[in-house]
Amino acid sequence: MSTANEWNIRQILEVMPHRYPMLLLDRVLEVVPGKRVVAIKNVTINEQVLQGHFPDHPVVPGVLLVEGMAQAGAFLMLHEMPPEEREKKLLYFTGIERARFRRPVVPGDQVRYEIELLRLRLGTCKLKAVARVDGNLAAEAILTSATVDR
Protein backbone atom coordinates (compact mmCIF):
# COMPACT_ATOMS: atom_id res chain seq x y z
CA MET A 1 0.00 0.00 0.00
CA SER A 2 1.38 3.43 -0.86
CA THR A 3 1.53 6.38 1.48
CA ALA A 4 -0.33 9.61 0.74
CA ASN A 5 2.65 11.02 -1.16
CA GLU A 6 3.76 7.74 -2.77
CA TRP A 7 2.38 6.19 -5.96
CA ASN A 8 2.40 2.49 -6.86
CA ILE A 9 2.47 1.13 -10.42
CA ARG A 10 -1.32 1.12 -10.84
CA GLN A 11 -1.48 4.77 -9.86
CA ILE A 12 1.46 5.59 -12.15
CA LEU A 13 -0.39 3.97 -15.06
CA GLU A 14 -3.35 6.28 -14.41
CA VAL A 15 -1.08 9.30 -14.97
CA MET A 16 1.47 8.17 -17.56
CA PRO A 17 0.73 7.42 -21.23
CA HIS A 18 3.66 4.94 -21.42
CA ARG A 19 3.17 1.18 -21.21
CA TYR A 20 5.45 -1.85 -21.09
CA PRO A 21 8.14 -2.11 -22.33
CA MET A 22 8.60 1.68 -22.44
CA LEU A 23 7.34 2.57 -18.97
CA LEU A 24 10.51 3.01 -16.91
CA LEU A 25 9.01 3.87 -13.51
CA ASP A 26 8.07 1.28 -10.89
CA ARG A 27 7.16 3.57 -8.00
CA VAL A 28 7.02 7.28 -7.26
CA LEU A 29 8.34 7.91 -3.76
CA GLU A 30 7.74 11.63 -3.42
CA VAL A 31 6.16 14.53 -5.24
CA VAL A 32 6.43 18.15 -4.20
CA PRO A 33 3.99 19.77 -6.67
CA GLY A 34 5.64 22.30 -8.94
CA LYS A 35 9.07 21.54 -7.48
CA ARG A 36 10.40 17.98 -7.51
CA VAL A 37 9.76 14.26 -7.83
CA VAL A 38 11.61 11.14 -6.71
CA ALA A 39 10.87 7.84 -8.48
CA ILE A 40 12.47 4.41 -8.76
CA LYS A 41 13.06 1.77 -11.42
CA ASN A 42 14.08 -1.75 -10.46
CA VAL A 43 16.42 -3.18 -13.09
CA THR A 44 16.10 -6.92 -13.71
CA ILE A 45 17.81 -9.32 -16.09
CA ASN A 46 14.38 -9.74 -17.74
CA GLU A 47 14.53 -6.25 -19.33
CA GLN A 48 14.16 -6.77 -23.09
CA VAL A 49 17.00 -4.42 -23.98
CA LEU A 50 19.46 -6.30 -21.77
CA GLN A 51 19.10 -9.41 -23.92
CA GLY A 52 21.25 -7.66 -26.52
CA HIS A 53 23.08 -4.89 -24.59
CA PHE A 54 25.33 -6.80 -23.89
CA PRO A 55 24.46 -10.52 -23.58
CA ASP A 56 27.59 -11.45 -21.61
CA HIS A 57 27.75 -8.18 -19.65
CA PRO A 58 24.28 -6.56 -19.46
CA VAL A 59 24.31 -2.77 -19.02
CA VAL A 60 21.32 -0.40 -19.17
CA PRO A 61 21.87 1.95 -22.14
CA GLY A 62 22.45 5.56 -21.12
CA VAL A 63 19.63 6.69 -23.38
CA LEU A 64 17.19 4.65 -21.27
CA LEU A 65 18.48 6.30 -18.10
CA VAL A 66 17.74 9.66 -19.72
CA GLU A 67 14.30 8.41 -20.76
CA GLY A 68 13.62 7.26 -17.19
CA MET A 69 14.57 10.68 -15.86
CA ALA A 70 12.31 12.29 -18.46
CA GLN A 71 9.40 10.02 -17.49
CA ALA A 72 9.82 10.95 -13.84
CA GLY A 73 9.72 14.60 -14.89
CA ALA A 74 6.63 13.93 -16.99
CA PHE A 75 4.95 12.39 -13.96
CA LEU A 76 5.70 15.58 -12.01
CA MET A 77 4.04 17.68 -14.70
CA LEU A 78 1.11 15.36 -15.57
CA HIS A 79 -0.01 14.22 -12.13
CA GLU A 80 -1.24 17.73 -11.26
CA MET A 81 -3.55 17.89 -14.29
CA PRO A 82 -7.16 16.77 -13.94
CA PRO A 83 -7.64 13.35 -15.63
CA GLU A 84 -9.85 14.78 -18.39
CA GLU A 85 -7.13 17.32 -19.31
CA ARG A 86 -4.28 14.80 -18.92
CA GLU A 87 -5.95 12.46 -21.44
CA LYS A 88 -5.63 15.20 -24.07
CA LYS A 89 -1.93 15.99 -23.47
CA LEU A 90 1.54 14.51 -23.95
CA LEU A 91 4.96 15.79 -22.95
CA TYR A 92 7.58 15.72 -25.71
CA PHE A 93 11.32 16.04 -25.27
CA THR A 94 12.60 19.30 -26.72
CA GLY A 95 16.15 19.16 -25.40
CA ILE A 96 18.79 17.22 -23.53
CA GLU A 97 21.77 19.19 -22.25
CA ARG A 98 24.89 18.24 -20.31
CA ALA A 99 24.05 14.54 -20.19
CA ARG A 100 26.75 12.64 -18.33
CA PHE A 101 26.98 8.99 -17.41
CA ARG A 102 29.01 8.26 -14.29
CA ARG A 103 28.63 4.53 -13.64
CA PRO A 104 27.06 1.52 -15.35
CA VAL A 105 23.60 0.41 -14.28
CA VAL A 106 23.21 -3.37 -14.26
CA PRO A 107 20.58 -5.99 -13.36
CA GLY A 108 19.87 -5.96 -9.64
CA ASP A 109 20.30 -2.20 -9.35
CA GLN A 110 17.52 0.08 -8.18
CA VAL A 111 17.70 3.42 -9.98
CA ARG A 112 16.49 6.43 -8.03
CA TYR A 113 15.43 9.32 -10.26
CA GLU A 114 15.57 12.74 -8.58
CA ILE A 115 14.05 15.50 -10.69
CA GLU A 116 13.86 19.21 -9.88
CA LEU A 117 11.74 21.67 -11.84
CA LEU A 118 13.94 24.61 -12.83
CA ARG A 119 11.47 26.51 -14.99
CA LEU A 120 7.88 26.24 -16.20
CA ARG A 121 6.63 28.70 -18.80
CA LEU A 122 4.00 28.57 -21.54
CA GLY A 123 3.72 24.77 -21.57
CA THR A 124 7.48 24.15 -21.55
CA CYS A 125 9.55 22.98 -18.63
CA LYS A 126 13.23 22.70 -17.82
CA LEU A 127 14.30 20.00 -15.37
CA LYS A 128 17.50 19.13 -13.53
CA ALA A 129 17.61 15.34 -13.48
CA VAL A 130 19.85 12.82 -11.75
CA ALA A 131 19.81 9.04 -11.56
CA ARG A 132 21.44 7.36 -8.57
CA VAL A 133 22.17 3.77 -7.60
CA ASP A 134 22.92 3.09 -3.93
CA GLY A 135 23.38 6.84 -3.44
CA ASN A 136 26.02 7.05 -6.17
CA LEU A 137 25.49 9.24 -9.23
CA ALA A 138 24.85 7.11 -12.32
CA ALA A 139 23.62 9.78 -14.77
CA GLU A 140 22.62 13.42 -14.91
CA ALA A 141 21.19 15.86 -17.44
CA ILE A 142 19.22 19.03 -17.96
CA LEU A 143 16.01 18.14 -19.80
CA THR A 144 13.45 20.32 -21.54
CA SER A 145 9.96 19.26 -22.57
CA ALA A 146 6.86 20.78 -24.10
CA THR A 147 3.23 19.95 -23.43
CA VAL A 148 1.39 19.16 -26.68
CA ASP A 149 -2.12 18.11 -27.63
CA ARG A 150 -2.56 14.41 -28.41
Query: Is residue 1 pLDDT above 50, yes or no?
Result: no
pLDDT at 3: 60
User: Does the active-site annotation cover 57?
Assistant: no
Q: Radius of gyration over alpha carbons of the chain, in Å?
A: 15
- Using DSSP, state whether 26 is helix, strand or coil: coil
Confidence of residue 94 (pLDDT cuts 50, 70, 90): very high
Query: Is residue 4 pLDDT above 70, yes or no?
Result: no
Choosing from 18, 53, 57, 79, the catalytic residue is 53
pLDDT at 55: 87
Averaged pLDDT of the chain: 95
Q: How far apart are CA 125 and CA 110, in angstroms?
A: 26
Question: By 3-state DSSP, what share of the chain in percent is helix, strand and coil, each rounded to 5?
Answer: 20, 40, 35
Full-prediction pTM beyond 0.85?
Answer: yes
The pLDDT tens digits of the residues spanning 49-79 come to: 999 999 899 999 999 999 999 999 999 999 9
Domain 9-149 has CATH 3.40.50.150: no
